[in-house]
Amino acid sequence: MTLLTRKHDFGSVAPLRSPVVKTCGIIRVDHALAAARFGASMIGLVFARSRRTVSVEVACAIRQALEGLAHKPLLVGVFVNELPQAILAIADQAGLDFIQLSGDETPTEVEECARHYPVLKALRFPMGVTSEAALGESERYRALVPMDRLRFLIDTYHPGEYGGTGRVGDWGIAAELARREEIILAGGLTPNNVAQAVKEVAPWGVDVSSGIERDGVKDPGLIEVFIANARQSHARGRR
């Protein structure tokens, strides 16, 4: 197997569109095209066990449908506690741009993947965690991987779950991290609360999945409103 090193890094992601918006859990070509049409920066394809899991074949169909668009979102493959070699093989087959590691991956495993693809590493902190502890956890990974190859996705903590819970997390801790890192905020975001989240946290990006669904199915109307509302506030602090 030949592993390909992608040309993208995080400096290439929609620098003039604040914040970056990732629509995750896309499983249909028409929903991917809708996300692209409304200005999503990234489309998340879940390869971990989930009701939103996609096959490599579906991922390839989505990638092919996006080819040639004037605005082409970057494809992010979402994995949970998978071996790096297996992750990289799927990323290569599907033509992914980025990898998201949403499990208990070690800094060494993240570094191994980041040598081939830029990585989003999900971090989840229980309620009541101190900002020092949260920063210490992020620094374990940052010590091995530079910023252009690694961003942190701050998701909601729930025992035994690895995302997609639809629950809002601790925006205060996320805001503390956003002062040090360019983070993506996830967890319970909806068209109704995303503008406030951007204002309070000032993240580099936001991530949504269940918040753009009706009855468990992605809704193009909600995708459009979410992206518009996410970008109505430009309080990003560093820009």
**Helix, coil or strand: residue 141:** helix
Strand 20-24, strand 42-46: pairing: parallel
pLDDT per residue as tens digits for the range 154-181: 998 675 566 556 677 789 999 999 999 9
Q: Which residues are catalytic?
A: 24, 155
Amino acid at 86: A
Strand 119-125, strand 74-79: pairing: unpaired
pLDDT per residue as tens digits for the range 74-83: 999 999 999 9
Least confident of 105-109, 156-160, 209-213: 156-160
- Pairwise CA distance, residues 213 & 133, whole Å: 34
Contacts of 15 (CB under 8 A, 6+ apart): none
Q: Which domains does the chain have, with CATH numbers?
A: 18-230 (3.20.20.70)
Give the mean model confidence (pLDDT) for residues 33-54. 96
**Which pLDDT score is estimated for 176?**
94
**Which pLDDT score is estimated for 71?**
87
Side-chain-side CA neighbours of 55 within 13 Å: the count stands at 3
Give the mean model confidence (pLDDT) for residues 96-109. 96
Q: What are the start-end ranges of the H helices in 106-216? A: 107-114, 131-142, 171-178, 194-201
**Which pLDDT score is estimated for 239?**
41
The kind and range of the H/E element at 152 are strand 150-156
Q: Which residues are 156's β-sheet partners? A: 125
Nearest to 183 by CA among 170, 167, 192, 166: 170
The structure's pTM equals: 0.90
